[in-house]
Amino acid sequence: MKERMTFKIFNDKGEEVECEVLFTFDSDETKKHYMVYTDNTVDEEGNTKVYAATYDPELENQSLKPIETDKEWKIIETILDQLKETVQEGENNGQ
């Protein structure tokens, strides 16, 4: 079983929240490192809330930076859609 990678952040109410890293990736197009994560809360429709940020893997004390452009969001959304399709295909094939 894969070990969970977690970290803590403070939400907009100043409360400490534990987040789980879903995956990280590098973009050749933007030359940035991205982290996609969740706080395991759900929205009104029951979907798990997912967030994304940029980070510097060389830093010991990470500071997440916001996604700055629509182009970056499109890259992230494309990867999320591909992962969702892969998971659904696995479920449909009884895996």
pLDDT tens column, 56-71: 988 888 789 999 999 9
- As a whole number, mean pLDDT of residues 84-93 equals 80
pTM recorded for the entire structure: 0.81
Note whether residue 29 is domain-resident. yes
Residue 40 domain flag = yes
| 74 contacts: CB under 8 Å, gap ≥ 6 | none
In a domain, 22, yes or no: yes
CA angle centred on 12, ends 11 and 18, rounded to 5°: 5
Average pLDDT over residues 72-90: 88
Q: Residues 15-26: pLDDT tens digits?
A: 999 999 999 999
Q: Domain tally for the chain?
A: 1
Decide if pLDDT at 1 tops 60.
no
Is residue 77 situated within a structural domain?
A: no
- Residue range of the domain that includes 28: 6-67
**Assigned domain for 79 exists:** no
Nearest-angstrom CA–CA distance, 38 and 18: 9
